[in-house]
Amino acid sequence: MKRLLILGAGTAGTMMANKMRNNLERDEWDITIVDQFKTHYYQPGFLFIPFGMYTKKDVIKPKSDFFPVGVNVIYSKIDKIVADDNQVLLDDGVVLKYDYLIIATGTRTAPEEVDGLKDKLWYKDIFDFYTIEGAVALANYFKTWKGGNLVVNIAELPYKCPVAPLEFVFFADAFFTERGMRDKVKIIYVTPMSGAFTKPRATKMLGDLLEQKNIEIVPDFNIMEVNNDEKKIIDYGGVEVPFDCLVSVPTNMGDSMIERSGLGDDMNFVPTDKHTLQQKDHENIFVIGDASNIPTSKAGSVAHFASEILEENLMCAIEGRPYTASFDGHANCYIETGYGKGTLIDFNYDTEPLPGSFPFPGLGPFGLLKVTRMNHYGKLLFRWIYWHILLKGKEMPIDSEMQMAGKKL
């Protein structure tokens, strides 16, 4: 028996387990997937929790619901990968050998990376919304919050779901307006980037939205520390922003197992060929999703598009053929803008988000870089698609490669 081992049963790992079980004969290939947790979180839903739109039960299901028949599932922490020996050591001493390895261990928030962030105000006046605990704590906090400076800060690049903090401030604007207390809340978006986003057109469009919604932006801010006593954040250049409530997007790092395995960069992301998705030094190791260092968004949509490329290339590797698929960095992000509307961006390594219609040229139904009600419905509908189609590795009516048709230059 040959062995395919998948580390991590989040979005990317689960999709790959489903796809590869479909491709590989059960009497020839053993497929094993390892994860330390039994619960699958619908992470795009975390954003909705602080504003009371979703609760915890809306975003959790057992991971076991999504594994195909014929895949071995091991719930365990991973000690490390010993790439030179083609084996993985689990925490309890179990050794797993592999012919091919897929690393899909994702990224985690690391609030301990910024001085004073995870300190005495943590989950009292300082929150994150990238964990279920943080999102739920913030929902409870907002129920009785009297207002003041609401500071949303991105600690460092790269971070998961790059549009989420923007959506957060758009939602916050609508939430506090609907509660009749927007005049008591000053919303400040503090980012290490030079504007609302990285690429020119999306930055302009999203920057204009911030202005329309009376959200202040503090750009080029690289946080050095959080002063808990004076309730302010301070950057390396000495700029200070006082807060009453701080919502942080902490530093994102790859799993510490990557570091123990000696396979990571200085943020524990795995150096990966951005087109083939093969790990840089080992021909039988592939990396998918947030765990890799490829220069595109850390997002479920990227993992989804990449999964189709990896499925094809892994089959090439197994059958001894040259790689036939090449990943273009395709990302597709619905952006909630509040009041039941949203916008949408679609881009890749080389093409910035452009205006137009998606997925059907001229028809839509979704509008790129436009604020529409349909885009919001797209985002809500996506939760159903995620649980029922995407995780199970089924075909979606969207090309994995980014399309120029429907876009305006």
Minimum distance of another protein from residue 165's CB (angstroms): 10
Closest CA to 375 of 338, 331, 329, 405: 338
Of residues 168-197, which lie at the interface with another protein (CB under 8 A)?
192-193, 197
Torsion angle of the four alpha carbons 19, 22, 27, 30, in this order, in degrees rounded to the nearest 10: 10
Q: Which is nearer to another protein, 303 or 317 (CB)?
A: 303
Q: Which is nearer to another protein, 130 or 197 (CB)?
A: 197
Q: Which is nearer to another protein, 93 or 237 (CB)?
A: 237
Using rule CB under 8 A, residue 236 touches another protein:
yes
Using rule CB under 8 A, residue 37 touches another protein:
no
Residue 66 vs residues 14, 38, 44, 269, 313: alpha-carbon distances, Å: 7, 11, 17, 26, 23
Closest CA to 148 of 235, 232, 53: 232
DSSP 21: H
Of residues 313-372, which lie at the interface with another protein (CB under 8 A)?
none
Strand, helix or coil at 56? helix
Q: Which is nearer to another protein, 76 or 194 (CB)?
A: 194
Minimum distance of another protein from residue 237's CB (angstroms): 5
Q: Which is nearer to another protein, 148 or 192 (CB)?
A: 192
Minimum distance of another protein from residue 250's CB (angstroms): 13
The one-letter code for the residue type at 340 is: G
Minimum distance of another protein from residue 187's CB (angstroms): 21
In the list 220, 230, 240, 399, the residue contacting another protein (rule: CB under 8 A) is 220
Minimum distance of another protein from residue 130's CB (angstroms): 14
| Rg value, the chain, Cα | 21
Of residues 262-291, which lie at the interface with another protein (CB under 8 A)?
266-267
Chain centroid to CA 44 = 8
Q: Which is nearer to another protein, 342 or 353 (CB)?
A: 353
Structure-token pair, residue 93: 């001493």
Where are the strands (E) in 250-302, listed by range?
A: 252-254, 285-287
Q: Which is nearer to another protein, 156 or 259 (CB)?
A: 156
Using rule CB under 8 A, residue 297 touches another protein:
yes
**In whole angstroms, what is the distance from residue 30 CA to residue 2 CA?**
6
Residue 178 neighbours by CB under 8 Å, 6+ apart = none
Minimum distance of another protein from residue 360's CB (angstroms): 27
In the list 28, 92, 93, 237, the residue contacting another protein (rule: CB under 8 A) is 237
Here's the x/- map for another protein, 124-163, by CB under 8 A: it reads as --------------------------------xxxx--x-
In the list 43, 86, 107, 296, the residue contacting another protein (rule: CB under 8 A) is 296
Q: Which is nearer to another protein, 58 or 220 (CB)?
A: 220
Q: How do strand 100-103 and strand 285-287 relate by DSSP bridges?
A: parallel
Minimum distance of another protein from residue 293's CB (angstroms): 8
Q: Determine if the peptide bond prior to 192 is cis (ω within 30°).
A: no
Minimum distance of another protein from residue 151's CB (angstroms): 20
Q: How many residues appear in the chain?
A: 409
Minimum distance of another protein from residue 67's CB (angstroms): 31
Instruction: Supply angle C-alpha 389, 303, 74, rounded to 5.
Output: 80
Q: Which is nearer to another protein, 249 or 318 (CB)?
A: 249
Residue 122 neighbours by CB under 8 Å, 6+ apart = 111
Residue 350 neighbours by CB under 8 Å, 6+ apart = 328, 329
Q: How do strand 245-249 and strand 126-127 relate by DSSP bridges?
A: parallel
Residues lying near another protein in the complex (CB under 8 A) are found at 156-159, 162, 192-193, 197-198, 220, 222, 224, 236-238, 266-267, 295-297
